[in-house]
Structure 1
């Protein structure tokens, strides 16, 4: 049969795209509003049609001729802003309060127009409870109104070969009748196995010997002397002992950037905060973009573009490639089973 076709919306730097390409899908189109993400696709995935577009609006022209089997995407769970537009303070308040302005609804509007067999949306777990649960309640109504049955799964990437504890919600919907909607089978569930095969050390150890490599996004941050002193106090696998800090080193609100990873365990969740990732297991510095990308299971030949903080956002916001690939493999089985049953009935 021909390759299954997908469209990747709110694609970011391409975690979903790369995972589905690894399973031999045909990515018909990827779209995002971020011009740096466009450059990432041009550099790494030049054969894929990328559309730079504000996806808060349904632009039917960009989808002309497309008939995807699956639509995937990770829309931000927040009210969208009007880029470059001047609006009144009253209008700003209205937009902020109107939960329908959330980009997850824009994603579902695009799904309805493209009418795929299956859609898959990734989001933070807060989508289920944000605005007292009103966003999710409204979203469920809209999905049902468009004729999709759906299930919600809260998955941890560490259970799918990603060396990182990263819990995210996946909403999968289908128009297939009488099919039990399921999630990919867990492949990395045993804690002992996780320690041996799915650790920070297993993916970044060799990079500690390379001080700088601009070509592969391996450039350590130049930390201030005060922060270097703080980092030296953080035990492996622990956080900064704030109650033991001198007056010189103390401050309020130490976040994830003052937590040190453990070499023999999976990583903390990669989040693109303040141009810095968590602290290296044994070096007194934060992770480089390449080290974080490896933890997100990107290959080394995949290059991130733009200022360092933009590269951090590209990596930290991405769906881990291995988790995306697990979904791609799983959804292929669902569609193939349906096609086989349809052919059997026709015969």
Structure 2
């Protein structure tokens, strides 16, 4: 008889890890389902609850597709399907892990999951990463009186370990930023402490396995850098490098591992391959936003770039083409698809839903006219050179006027996502201004939409992010790519039977 595993998802965000594990759990040979998700952010919790509710049906309810396809608000699920909605409310808890009393509350659900499932549970999640990330550490250095040893965020992983000790799952997956490998506290590396705590958790202990390399044959622990996963090597159209540790409880018979659990590196998937079926859009203007005004502003910026004295010939040609284009985009949002045949094979099935006839949350934000010129130049340069230009390579009239522009700290300030390669890492910073996430088409002069960012993160097209647009971006940037999580889930199930 095939065993079914209950999943506990900590620091769940909008549900990237959970979506991948749930999708893998729908396969008859690897049944798994989420028992509990814990997240602190209001809007991420709303997204999690909606997704939990939808997963309680074999096929999503027709009212969901009616609302999405017609562009109308979602109905009251509590009124339409009260029992299903109650299940979702119970599954998703808005709690701050590490806060007083939260562990004691969660422990009740942990004990229930372990007992009901006879120990067949899986723990997943990624403690917040601000204290470990390179960007976060750079910001912390600038804070007067900052002491790393006093930053509780360095030790939030211990809450994960505390729950691991209580649940004693068959397996766990812990995700964090690459910076954890080099982060130091009290003069020592934090990652070695994390691995020690994970290895000794639960009384029984865990075998710690890398997913993208073959573990040592002698049973020794893998080197820290072996736990680094490069998402672009596993079908994700994004160069997202994250530390992911897989733990298998030591009383589970060891399986000989002779090849990487995630398989050999795959051919990279490019930005263009996963977003070019989405409708072409114009950005907005931060003031007096009308299509004619936007098109006039774009043409003026294109002409200025083309007439600049020291300009790359290829960039000039593209700028002239945009300046003379009579068919510049005219819509700021669109629910239409161009042609789903553009999508690469495996991801086409992953993204698509035959019941969904529209693109969700594909709407642009507004920009000032000077930024239109910067975006146009950056995208044109990237199209010619297959890399985004450094700030020093921009024409002088497009240089931002802030005092620190020559410090080198903002060299990548206006970064186009090159069409022919995987994107750079989609982070929560995309919620702020979009300067690091410029669309590769020079004629669109804009940053990526929520849906385009979600595609780069491999969220299915029927995944709806709750809250205002800024919060939608934030959720997308904070997530684990679901398609990567799906592959990890399949590997976990192969090992624990």
**Which residue in 2 is equivalent to 1:341?**
none
Distance 1:95 1:27, change over 3 A: same
Q: Match for 2:97 among 50, 55, 63?
A: 55
Classify the secondary structure of the residue corresponding to 1:122.
strand
- Where does structure 2 lack aligned partners over 5 or more consecutive residues? 26-31, 57-87, 115-119, 133-144, 211-226, 282-330, 336-358
Classify the secondary structure of the residue corresponding to 1:55.
coil
**Which residue in 2 is equivalent to 1:30?**
37
- Where does structure 1 lack aligned partners over 5 or more consecutive residues? 81-91, 337-347
Q: Structure 1 residue 136 and structure 2 residue 191: aligned?
A: yes
Spell out the pairing of 1:234-273 with structure 2 (5 A cutoff).
234=378, 235-236=381-382, 237-243=386-392, 244-246=394-396, 249-250=399-400, 251=402, 252=405, 253-254=409-410, 258-273=414-429
> What count of residue pairs does the alignment treat as equivalent?
319
Classify the secondary structure of the residue corresponding to 1:333.
helix
CA contact (8 A) 1:41 1:50 kept: yes
Kindly state the Cα deviation for residue 245 of structure 1 after the two structures are TM-superposed: 3.0
CA contact (8 A) 1:201 1:263 kept: yes
CA contact (8 A) 1:231 1:240 kept: no
Q: Distance in 1 between matches of 2:147 and 2:410?
A: 34
**Which residue in 2 is equivalent to 1:202?**
273
Q: Match for 2:234 among 132, 150, 160?
A: 160
**Which residue in 2 is equivalent to 1:115?**
168
CA contact (8 A) 2:127 2:176 kept: yes
Classify the secondary structure of the residue corresponding to 1:258.
coil
Q: Distance in 2 between matches of 1:255 and 1:305?
A: 34
**Which residue in 2 is equivalent to 1:148?**
206
RMSD (Å), alpha carbons: 2.6
**Which residue in 2 is equivalent to 1:65?**
112
Q: Distance in 1 between matches of 2:177 and 2:375?
A: 29
Q: Match for 2:464 among 291, 303, 316?
A: 303
Spell out the pairing of 1:267-346 with structure 2 (5 A cutoff).
267-273=423-429, 274-276=432-434, 278-282=437-441, 283-336=444-497
**Which residue in 2 is equivalent to 1:223?**
367
Kindly state the Cα deviation for residue 34 of structure 1 after the two structures are TM-superposed: 0.9
Q: Distance in 1 between matches of 2:194 and 2:125?
A: 15
After TM superposition, the score normalised by the length of structure 1 is 0.83
Greater Rg over alpha carbons, structure: 2
Q: Distance in 2 between matches of 1:203 and 1:168?
A: 21
Q: Match for 1:45 among 52, 65, 69?
A: 52
